[in-house]
Amino acid sequence: MMTTIEAAVLYVEDDLIVRESAANALEDAGFEVVVAENGDAALAALKNDADPFCAIITDVNLGTGPDGWEVAKRARELNRALPVVYVSGASGHEWRSKGVPNSVLIAKPFAPSQIVVALSSLVKTAT
């Protein structure tokens, strides 16, 4: 099933292999994907993109610089209803306190199709 969206999805992931496989799955499902390899690049994309993103997918642990929680917080300052898919290899206990409404947490390792399903559900709910 192809998904038609008005704006791109911002996908933030520091692991090249995970980033490429998930981005390819999202594109195959009909999403336009803007990729950021770390928190700083994600914040720059949020600041510089002329068209607002329809959703954000972010790894929680992004190495140095802003983490996924900070990226999502800043994105939500621009759009309070922005759907967020968090991805983490760590325990999901933080998500309950730091997660935002209209969000979901996917544990690593995951099949790329899991991101597509989660994102499609959140975007459909938001529209």
This prediction's pTM: 0.86
What is the pLDDT, as a whole number, of residue 1?
40
d(CA 94, CA 60): 10
pLDDT at position 66? 95
Q: What is the rounded CA–CA span in Å between residue 110 and residue 124?
A: 22
From first to last of the 127 residues of the chain, give the pLDDT tens digit. Answer: 444 455 799 999 999 999 999 999 999 999 999 999 999 999 999 988 667 899 999 999 998 889 999 999 999 888 888 899 999 877 666 666 566 678 888 988 889 899 999 998 888 766 5
For residue 39, report the phi and psi dihedrals to the nearest 5 degrees: -65, -40
Q: What is the pLDDT of residue 3?
A: 45
**Superfamily designation of domain 9-126:** Response regulator (3.40.50.2300)
